[in-house]
A and B are shown apart, each in its own frame.
Chain A
Amino acid sequence: MKNRLRHIPANETEQQLFELMYERAMTGLDDERQAEYERRAAQHPDLDVDCYERAAAAIWLHHSDGQCQTMPQALKSRIAASAPTRPERLTARPFASAWTWSGWAAAAGLAAWLLLSAPQPSKTLDASAQRAAFLEAEPTARRAAWTATEDPDGRAVAGDVVWSPASQQGYMRFTGLPQNDPKAKQYQLWIFDAQRPDATPVDGGVFDITTNAEMVVPIQARLAVGQATMFAVTVEAPGGVVVSKREHIVALASL
């Protein structure tokens, strides 16, 4: 296949686009400049608009000397689990950067569909990808690492919780939390809010751990959280409770 894209600007208008391409390759563009870049690029489909970025990538590769750090196996597994396996998932592009509320609603519908129709691992698969998209869309989201507890089920807990006060959404990521039998017990998240008494934290939702591998669980806060200060996971009776006796605290994370 022959490439017919042009690499040299032919006039002042194209030169302005090349300026944006240069900036994009070196420092990135702010939203306004990015919009201008996209508008101008759309007007010049015959220009190779990636040529500066390609040159920068080639320079990076040259200086890397071919030496790369090996990606941790756990991360490879997480990326593989969140990868699409059907072509329509790619064209749907559900994880585009400018996700709107309706985009999240659509994803929730997709997740619900997967829950009903797909094998169990797909649930983890999409939550993990949704978490990545969430972090992209919510740059001010706050993160805290889980602390293991003395509870027998909480001694090996690791992972983190991310929470966006702006959107009131977040995700928990766990490893080392034992799988539970939903008919016998379930996990429940509690969100401590600086604007509420510690005795009445916000119910963050009931959930199950269904895998020994890393699992991502979306937070489902029942009430608005003013200022989250701490997240706690307890073991409760199936269906969860309104007020926890806090007898089995298996994970804690302070913001």
Chain B
Amino acid sequence: MLIWRALRERGVLGMNDRNGRFVLPLNPRKHYPRVDDKLLTKKLAQERGIPVPALLGVVSHYHELRSVPELLAPHETFVLKPARGSQGNGIIVIVGRDGDLYRRPNGSTVAIAAIQQHISSILSGVFSLRGDWDNCLVEELVIVHPDFASVVTRGVPDIRVIVCNGLPVMAMCRLPTDESNGRANLHQGAMAVGIDMASGRAVHAIHHSATVTAHVDTQYPLAHFRVPHWDDVLSLAARSSEIAGLGYLGVDVVVDARHGPLLLELNARPGLAIQLANDEGLVPRLELAAEMHATEMPWQERCALAKKLFARSGVGAPPEANP
């Protein structure tokens, strides 16, 4: 009971509360396809001018498998992705070519036939959550922004922003580790760094739900960490809520070395671990967001409001000059 009261006082959002007060009332079921289907998300984003990883091609039918070699021929690097996959399953990353063979991040190589086989699996819905047929996206490979160099040894880090009624309310950065095998998946051992909404600086960090102060692989002190292009990340999140049609949304963003922040995917039921990463409950921020009626505001105003409302005091300035 003591823990219960402490959690209530700190405004920690529980699963039932999230579903009953936010997901169910704010997220109309009819708009779920917009976030569940990455191809649709991408189309909607491009219509609005929201930057996304470039789409190099789509394979939707088995008969298109034959033309896959021509489709891939012009590209040195690319990513194959099931449109309705989850948790990074079924994704194949190609980082280079050795003649006819394609090289993967771990140095192994695959032949075009194996790639065709994998695409055929994606089409048949092997990786799709609902088990239906699926589309295979061929995307441009994201190049991790150099600012992440001190906290990322492998894989691609991403930034999760919770957006409520159009207002970005909380953010965390997920850093892949050796343990997570380069995946930005928290329960596989990735780290989560809570991010100050005003400055993009780290406020707190966890690894397996326990507080840490330095990166588990590189030992880099996380107090110095700051998300590159934070303002653009924030505006990307604010604008993304317009295409989703959902009042309670998780926006996943990657920061590319060449293109800056890109919208990776949207999530209608974002998890609650972000509270542990920020060492702060979501409820007060969500209630504040509900009072603001920000849905109709232009995104610039919403970003400014989010920065003002949710700035973490004492984080605005770096602890010392940037290393």
A complexed with B = no
B-side interface residues toward A, CB under 8 Å? none
